[in-house]
Amino acid sequence: MIEPGPDHPITVTLEPRRVRVLVAGVAVADTRDALRLDEGRYPAVFYIPRADIRAEHFVPSARTSHCPYKGDASYFDLVVHGTRRADAVWSYEAPFPAVAPIAGHVAFYPDRVDAIEVLDVA
């Protein structure tokens, strides 16, 4: 485990806007309770609460990975209308303390879904 610091900062904040993820015309996630994780120079990643996903489209994958800053990740394929997007989603079930708020959330690879929409909430 490596703690985030000045050379590799990580922040987790509440995202005030609505976040919606689309695959094959279906919103597989839609929330006003997303978390935004900013890590170093990487693009921001939105973590969606599991309560706000359409779980019937998520199929556990055999893939796993390890991040020295966040912990061990598990992956899911997305299956919508017969279309499968392999390893499109990841989740840290027991993240390291520095990013503990992302537990119980999932994140999406932007290039494996059709859109990640960030919409102003009226």
Domains delineated in the chain: 10-119 (2.170.150.40)
User: Which three-class secondary structure state does DSSP give residue 50?
Assistant: helix
Q: pLDDT per position in the chain (122 positions), as tens?
A: 888 888 899 999 999 999 999 999 999 999 999 999 999 999 999 999 999 999 999 999 999 999 999 999 999 999 999 999 999 999 999 999 999 999 999 999 999 999 999 999 75
Please return the burial class of 25, using the count of CB atoms within 10 Å of its CB with bins 0-12, 13-18 and 19+.
exposed
pTM of the shown model: 0.95
Paired strand residues for 74: 64, 91
